[in-house]
């Protein structure tokens, strides 16, 4: 992907809004209107997009980009993912317990005894809070909650996320791993008398 050294997905362009080139845009930042503050955005082909105007509209923002003046041009952008370079994101705007998701990708996930559970490959929010997806080697990926019970420490300098394996669902009282829980024998419904 051209256009940035460390691209961070910020938004996806949706359907046109009106006939003058405005588009609906789904943003992934905490403040949807901040999309206009980062400077030029770029797509996966390296095309640049400068925000001329932005306003909220329900669950999305309506954006007018420079050089997009017609509904036809706006329609052609539907589905375009917009990125910024990670260097454009202000670090001083974060509280001590806040992190950019892009910075967590690739971090090692370990417990307090340094047992390795893999690396962060994605962060998701399906509506119930953030979920960390991690994978170790060629194994199937595993998802754990991104909350204070499961994630006990994040060390940005050493690039290590420390987890509580029980709270994260990586282990249970019987041993390691999702799916490794002892299986109970199947229950059979007893026939009632008179059947």
State pLDDT tens for residues 41-87. 999 998 999 999 999 998 899 999 998 999 999 999 999 999 988 87
pLDDT at 165 over 80: yes
Kindly state the percentage of the chain with pLDDT values over 90: 53
pLDDT at 136 over 60: yes
- What pLDDT, on the 0 to 100 scale, is given for residue 123? 86
pLDDT at 24 over 80: yes
Q: What mean pLDDT, rounded, does the chain reach?
A: 84
Please name every residue paired with 27 in a beta bridge, in sequence order, or none if there are none.
Answer: 11
Domain boundaries, the chain: 7-87, 101-173
Section 163-169 average pLDDT: 94
CATH 2.40.30.60 given to domain 7-87: yes
Stated length of the chain: 195
- Position with higher pLDDT, 131 vs 101: 131
pLDDT one-digit tens code per residue, 98-118: 787 888 989 999 999 999 999
**pTM, two decimal places:** 0.62
Q: What are the φ/ψ torsions at residue 167 (nearest 5 degrees)? A: -65, -30
What DSSP character marks residue 105? T
Ranges assigned E (strand) in the chain: 7-17, 22-27, 41-42, 48-49, 51-57, 60-65, 81-85, 108-110, 116-125, 130-135, 142-145, 151-155, 160-163, 171-172, 175-176
- What pLDDT, on the 0 to 100 scale, is given for residue 110? 96
d(CA 150, CA 129) in angstroms, rounded, equals: 13
* Contact indicator for 77, 70 with CB cutoff of 8 Å: no
- What pLDDT, on the 0 to 100 scale, is given for residue 176? 58
- What pLDDT, on the 0 to 100 scale, is given for residue 78? 96
pLDDT bin (cut points 50, 70, 90) of residue 133 is very high
pLDDT bin (cut points 50, 70, 90) of residue 124 is confident
Closest by CA to 21, choosing from 88, 76, 93, is 76
- Classify domain 101-173 by CATH architecture: Roll (2.30)
């Amino acid at each position: 992907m051209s256009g940035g050294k460390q691209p961070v997905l910020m938004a996806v362009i949706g359907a046109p809004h009106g006939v003058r080139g405005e588009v609906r845009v789904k943003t992934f930042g905490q403040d949807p209107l901040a999309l206009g503050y980062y400077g030029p955005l770029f797509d996966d082909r390296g095309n640049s997009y400068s925000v001329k105007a932005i306003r909220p509209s329900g669950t999305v923002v309506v954006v007018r980009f420079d050089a997009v003046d017609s509904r036809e041009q706006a329609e052609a952008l539907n589905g375009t993912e917009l990125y910024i370079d990670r260097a454009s994101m202000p670090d001083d705007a974060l509280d001590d317990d806040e992190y950019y998701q892009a910075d967590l990708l690739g971090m090692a996930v370990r417990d307090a005894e340094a047992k390795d559970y893999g690396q962060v490959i994605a962060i998701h929010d399906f509506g119930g809070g953030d979920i960390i997806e991690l994978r170790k080697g060629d194994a199937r990926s595993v998802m754990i909650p991104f909350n204070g019970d499961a994630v006990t420490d994040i060390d940005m300098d050493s690039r290590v996320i420390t987890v509580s394996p029980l709270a994260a669902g990586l282990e249970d009282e019987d041993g390691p791993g999702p799916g490794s829980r002892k299986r109970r024998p199947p229950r059979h419904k007893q026939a009632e008398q008179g059947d």
